[in-house]
A and B are shown apart, each in its own frame.
Chain A
Amino acid sequence: MTGNLAGILRKLGDKPWIWSYLGMILIWLATVTYTMGQGGGSIISAALSFATFTVIVGIGQMFVITTGPGNVDLSIPATIALSGAICMKVMDGSNAMLPVGVLIALGTGIAVGAFNYMLIRVLRIPPIIATLSASFLILSTAIAYGRGLKIKPPPLLADFTTMKIAGIPLLAVFIIVFAILASILLNRTLYGRSVLAIGQNMRAAWLAGINVERIRYATYTLSAILAGFCGLLLAGFSGGASLDMGSEYLLASIAVVVIGGTSVAGGKSNIPGIWGASLFMFLLVTMLNTFGASAGIRLIMTGLIIVAVITVAGGDKQQR
């Protein structure tokens, strides 16, 4: 019996993402208990809606972090703002221009990814500084282009991003499917395996025949493209683009990766955990709101709980 239990515990220990789901359920229960069962369903529905955007950028951030210590993409918020601004301006509220908007989101991502990687590779700037300084340039571009800001999104885009079927947001369903695809990309393709190998030991990866530079380039580009799409969808969801709509995703994209069980030391990642962690983060804020906590308390509690969760669940003894 005890052996059985130990086995189960060890299995759970192998899956660090389990903690984010556990925390999510606990917080939801606490909230619903407080409201005495009122609004439990709508909280979940809202959580799915909002967590979707965190998941999109979180997956991109996860691939970047997986390529090893020091790799992180801090230009995500700026890319979201730039992509949202340009898309809204070009589409100008017209459904017919929607395919063009999609291409622009994609193009913005490709351009930002190439620029980031150029700073990292050609100028040999550490990724943390390269992507941070790139984000100033990207944001300035968005500001210069800021005339697109008060434009409504095309109705089709707005409907798509806000539509719910039986309380479940349509977009969330798409992103759940996307997360499954990303998981396959990570574990079953040459690209994914190469990312995991580089994250463990870049030199050994090179000596094992992996084209390290091409893979890193692709990874920064993937992260930027996902941020670009996040910008387009977020603008559609919130009825227009704004320059600061990406700002909360700086911490969020990194926090969901770490809470979700991805190793900050690289080489080991976890996609289910990103969904769990994103829902956890939203429900946490909702719970504090429900309890009537003031904005200050809310921020303090959010910070403390993130630190606590990372300490308890994110600790990975195998890390070197």
Chain B
Amino acid sequence: MSDTPMIDQLETGPWPSFIKDIKRMAAKNAMCKDLLGLLEMSYKDKKTHWKHGGIVGVRGYGGGIIGRYSDSPEKFPNVSHFHTVRVNQPSAWFYNTGALRYLCDLWEKHGSGLTNLHGSTGDFIMLGTTTDHLEDIFTDLSEHGWDLGGSGSDVRTPSCCNGMARCEFACYDTMNLCYDLTNEYQDELHRPAFPYKFKFKMSGCPNDCVASIARSDCSIIGTWRDDIQQDNAAITEYAKGGKVDIANDVVAKCPTGCMSWDGSKLSIDNKNCNRCMHCINVMPKALRPGKDKGAMILLGAKAPIVQGALLSSVLVPFIKMEPPYEEFKDLIRRIWEFWDEHGENRERIGEMIVRIGKGNFVEEVGLEPTPAMIKEPRSNPYIFYEEYFDEE
């Protein structure tokens, strides 16, 4: 009988099986064999058998490696130490096979041979090695042009959508900005010195394929200021072919009611369009974002711990996003200076903004308040007035 009867049941079925993959690796790697045993034990006990661990890392870096130890070293000695290496992925997860094969060979030599493609933040995750391999892994990586990603209270590895490489909706060059910011902030990425983590995510349009508005402290989402580019011949083609019911599927779904269709002509009141992307998504051949493109900067998203989950909210409604991105970096510098000074330990920037008030924050980082920053003005009368008249 198999040693792992429970997890064996995850080898069947149409979806790719991670158990099959671990077993394939276990044929030549003792760590993987013990990992299967440990996992089977979790399935039987209905609990994890991992402990977090002490600080591990490479010389000169404070992040990039996550220590991991099992609670059953006697039973499964080969995974008693099983650390994670976060390798900074290339923009938008494009690879050539030479690059991937290099990472595979390195990981075959120094670790379990198991990976996550990719981690939640975006890194190429190497899953499971021991402390004595870490310096060798890092030296080899850096000789081959790779570097570690972030962990702890630092800039986490930035990530982006595929942008202009393979999408007609991209309103700025997400992959270039991702590469540029990652390099600009190498020190902040490798040496944790912030109150808490800080994530950048870049999406080329409001469809937000990297979920930046939900998952990053600083969400950079492409948008445009002028009119949607309209190709009337292509609209006719969509309508005639019966491919799209323009009245129902496009006009009736427009959230601002800024479109009308008379059976042959589509009219858009662009001044009232809120750039939601629905009509463009439905008819990509006929409608495209405008030509005056840039990005919106939103701040503050995070998962629940501690004060509850937050979505990012608008800080800068429109900014041109072209290299060398000086205006944007200048804003980030002001934001970090303020957060450094006022952020509490383990307080994400979104939580700090809620604590001190968005109006105060906007003022402190040198921006003007605008209605685009809020859903609605306050309904409570507890206004902290800062100016008073005195009797002459």
Q: Do A and B bind each other?
A: no
